[in-house]
Amino acid sequence: MVYIRQDKLPKLKEYKYSGVDHSLVSRYILKPFYTNVVIHCFPMWMAPNLITLSGFGFIIINFITLLWYTPTLDQDCPPWVYASWAVGLFLYQTFDAVDGTQARRTHQSGPLGELFDHGVDAINTTLEVLLFSAAMNLGQGWKTVLTLFASLMTFYIQTWDEYHTHTLTLGVISGPVEGILTLCIVFALTAVLGGGSFWQRSMFESLGMKNYEFIPDVVYDLAWNEWYMVYGGVVLIFNTILSALNVMEARRARGQKTRVALLGLLTFAAAWTLIPVYLYLQPVILHHHLLPFVFYVGIINAYSVGRIIVSHLTKSRFPRGNVLIFPLAYGVIDSLGPWLQQHVGSAFGDDWGRFFGWPSALGNDVYQVAFVFMCLGLAIGVHGSFVIDVIFAICDYLDIWCLTIKHPYQENEESEQKKDK
């Protein structure tokens, strides 16, 4: 399958990065640190994409320790594990931020850098959800699923915003800056406080506050991890509304209809209509095999986001639909039949009950688990082919390499060319 058509390739040369960062932390703390200290640690021969990939390596190491110490996401780990997660995530954020500076310093800025950067971020988002769930001892259940939904929606909305406004806008509070720093603090505190079980305690009680009559018991009993999810929900709503307003304003300025842009959210909405339904119908996946399913869902989102970025770079039509959703739809239909037989058909008796529902081909045991792993394998194959095809297409057309610098910048040569002109 060809993801970039030949007639769209010339648009790659028109690419020009546009970004706005309103974060005060980024402006006054992180950017001076990156510009004055970190960037000098990387040699001029190092390609920006290689810096991005190297930073992602720290996240892979973090995830390996998760699989070793708490594969069920509900076990306390040794303190050094949480500390390593904090260090690894901070290094990833640093490498991810510096790659743009390296691209400008080596004169290697281009569309491939944005695609590579966002593509790695999309995969990292899913991994960080699992690491956060493990740090909070959320376990395999609805809390982890809700955290995944919020994280993936934030990333999807941000990419949707960039496609329509042609500018990457980071608000005063954003995931790539404050979100990651918050996670680093959570990981570090978990190491100091003795494990994820601390976050299961009531926040008010652990702070020594009394249960006053004006505080409802439901609020007083909320655990630290539940308060964090409330905070994340507020930020999600704020950023979603802000992005929607940005998109509407940009399209109105160009004389375009605003409602058309909202159709781009239907793909995400369709996936997240099916996901909770499937997990409700298959509790064995929700409570015992959630990790491979989370990976599958994460790749669904990464594939959608990747195609949006490619359309943005080539100025193509917004991509709608996602082929990776179809296996999930089959899983829902297959699991819905027995549920209808049990809950609807039984109410009408044997004579009429057989007309409601249908038998499952996968059941609710080993074949259902195999189905989830099959979906994951399919997702890896489809998304992998997309990544390889797009990288090769861009590299061949622009005459560049992905992880090394094919044409090093020569300042003397450029000066001579300007004199000749």
- The catalytic residues are 118
Whole-Å CA distances, 184 to 153, 239, 257, 297, 302: 21, 21, 41, 24, 23
Any residues with CB less than 8 A from the CB of 5 and at least 6 apart, and which? 316
User: Does residue 317 sit in helix, strand or coil?
Assistant: coil
- Sequence letter at residue 59: I
DSSP output for 143-191:
HHHHHHHHHHHHHHHHHHHHHHHSSEEE-SS-IIIIIHHHHHHHHHHHH
Alpha carbons 162 and 111: distance in angstroms, whole number: 14
Tally Cβ neighbours within 10 Å of residue 319.
18
Alpha carbons 263 and 68: distance in angstroms, whole number: 42
State residue 15 phi and psi, 5-degree precision: -65, 135
Any residues with CB less than 8 A from the CB of 296 and at least 6 apart, and which? 324, 328, 372, 375, 376, 379
Handedness of CA 329, 332, 338, 344 (dihedral sign): negative
Any residues with CB less than 8 A from the CB of 153 and at least 6 apart, and which? 236, 240, 268, 272
Side-chain half-sphere of 411: how many Cα atoms within 13 Å? 3
